[in-house]
């Protein structure tokens, strides 16, 4: 196994320093210090590794995931120097152990707070895919991420099952609301691997409002989740499994039709707790030997 520390491929370039400067522009140093102060984590001394510099170091690690800690920190320090001057940046070399200790003291709280406040839908109206009929187009979806193979991560997130035992790394599951035009992942909610995406999506959907059109794949459909989502005031457009019963109650001029969803078959039989929806069916042309029918349901009952 090689013992050489990973370095930037061709050394630090001007573009790398500009990247750090851009991070500081999008997440201003004043906001970082304010967030640290609110959580009682501002640096008492400006020697060693100031906590505000550490925040930018963690952000930069996402962009330079395969580069050694010390190399990323050196890049961050040099990139911030034109913005911060020499205050607290006189030491350009900090050991990996010191970095880990500083990260432990700061924790995840400030980063979570900055994410929740800074990462918001931001696409301009003239950008393709951002708006439809005055509504901002958002999409609920989920994914997983490998986490470092450490005891705390294993206990919190768990290992996904494998045909030959457990997998090599713990996995974090998350659900986020993506702005379709910019692909910005907003309001992300993390959880253990075995937690269902629909459960995580409940807190994500709480951020929706009447300015949005929220789309989701068929795995997110359920009566309870649909009702919860409607309460936000957002317009909804979900893809639907073919097994969900949706009788044609009223066919509309454009070929779509109105139907009613119920919590259970018993509720459907007794005609209680129904929610009116609009169903859109379509096929994908050009598929050899088959043209499956796909279904969407929407809360948009009036003509689109």
d(CA 239, CA 282): 11
- The encoded tokens of residue 142 equal 């989920």
pLDDT value for 59: 92
The answer on pLDDT for 141 being more than 50 is yes
* pLDDT band, residue 9 (cuts 50/70/90): low
> Residue 1: which pLDDT band, with cuts at 50, 70 and 90?
very low
Tell me the whole-structure pTM to 2 decimals.
Answer: 0.83
Beta bridge partners of 233: none
DSSP character for 169? Answer: S
For residue 178, count other CB atoms closer than 10 A to its CB.
Answer: 19
- pLDDT of 131 above 70: yes
Q: How many other β-carbons are positioned within 10 Å of the β-carbon of residue 250?
A: 11
- Average of pLDDT values for 50-58? 91
User: In this structure, is the dihedral angle defined by the CA atoms of residues 221, 224, 225 and 230, taken in order, positive or negative?
Assistant: positive
Residue found under tokens 């920190």: 73
Residue 256 structure tokens: 């779509």
pLDDT given for residue 95 in this prediction: 78
Q: Pairing state of beta strands 212-216 and 135-146?
A: parallel
> Per-residue pLDDT for 2 more than 50?
no
pLDDT tens profile 171-207: 999 999 999 999 999 999 999 999 999 999 999 999 9
| Average of per-residue pLDDT across 28-38 | 93
> What's the pLDDT score for residue 43?
76
* Continuous segment of H or E residues that includes residue 93: none
Residue 36 or 95, more confident = 36
Closest by CA position to 240, among listed 252, 267, 134, 256: 256
**Whole-number pLDDT of residue 97:** 82
Looking at residue 50, its pLDDT comes to 87
Interval 75-104: pLDDT, tens: 888 888 877 765 555 554 577 888 888 888
Q: Which residue has the higher pLDDT, 96 or 303?
A: 96
Q: What is the pLDDT of residue 142?
A: 96
Question: pLDDT, tens digit, for every residue of 240-263?
Answer: 988 888 999 999 999 999 999 999
C-alpha radius of gyration, the chain, whole number: 24
Q: What residues are paired with 281 via a beta bridge?
A: 295
Tell me what percent of the residues of the chain surpass a pLDDT of 90: 60
Q: Give the C-alpha separation, 51 to 35, whole Å.
A: 11
Distances, alpha carbon 268 to alpha carbons 207, 274, 277, in Å = 30, 7, 14
Read off the tokens for 3: 């013992």
Q: How far apart are the first and last CA of the chain?
A: 61
User: Comparing 32 with 291, which gets the higher pLDDT?
Assistant: 32
Residue 214 to residue 223: CA distance in whole angstroms = 16
Tens-digit pLDDT profile for residues 269-299: 999 999 999 999 987 766 555 556 789 999 9
Contacts of residue 250, Cβ cutoff 8 Å, sequence gap at least 6: 257, 258
Band (pLDDT 50/70/90 cuts) for residue 42 is: confident
List the alpha helices (DSSP H) in the chain.
Answer: 14-26, 29-38, 51-63, 69-84, 96-106, 109-118, 151-157, 197-205, 223-230, 265-270
| Amino acid 17: pLDDT | 73
CA-nearest of 265, 299, 304 to 279 is 299
């Amino acid at each position: 196994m090689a013992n050489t520390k990973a370095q930037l491929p061709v050394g630090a370039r001007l573009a790398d320093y500009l990247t750090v400067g851009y991070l500081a522009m999008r997440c201003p140093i004043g906001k970082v210090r304010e967030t640290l102060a609110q959580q009682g984590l501002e640096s008492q001394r400006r020697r060693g590794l100031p906590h505000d510099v550490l925040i930018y170091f963690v952000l930069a690690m996402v962009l330079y995931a395969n580069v050694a800690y010390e190399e990323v920190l050196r890049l961050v320090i040099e990139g911030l120097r034109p913005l911060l001057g020499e205050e607290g940046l006189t030491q350009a070399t900090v050991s990996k152990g010191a970095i880990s200790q500083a990260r432990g003291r700061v924790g995840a709280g400030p980063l979570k707070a900055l994410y929740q406040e800074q990462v918001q839908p931001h696409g301009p109206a003239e950008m393709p895919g951002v708006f439809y009929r005055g509504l901002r187009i958002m999409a609920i979806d989920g994914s997983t991420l490998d986490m470092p193979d450490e005891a705390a991560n294993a206990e919190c997130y768990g290992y996904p099952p494998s045909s030959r035992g457990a997998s090599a790394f713990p996995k974090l599951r998350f659900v986020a609301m993506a702005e379709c035009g910019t692909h910005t992942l907003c309001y992300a909610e993390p959880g253990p691997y075995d937690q269902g995406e629909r459960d995580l999506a409940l807190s994500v959907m709480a951020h929706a409002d009447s300015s949005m059109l929220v789309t989701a794949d068929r795995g997110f459909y359920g009566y309870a989740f649909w009702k919860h989502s409607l309460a936000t005031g957002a317009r909804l457009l979900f893809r639907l499994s073919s097994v969900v019963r949706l009788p044609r109650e009223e066919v509309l001029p454009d070929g779509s039709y109105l139907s009613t969803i119920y919590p259970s078959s018993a509720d459907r039989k007794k005609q209680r707790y129904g929610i009116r929806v609009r169903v859109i069916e379509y096929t994908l042309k050009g598929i050899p030997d088959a043209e499956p029918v796909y279904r969407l349901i929407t809360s948009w009952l009036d003509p689109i």
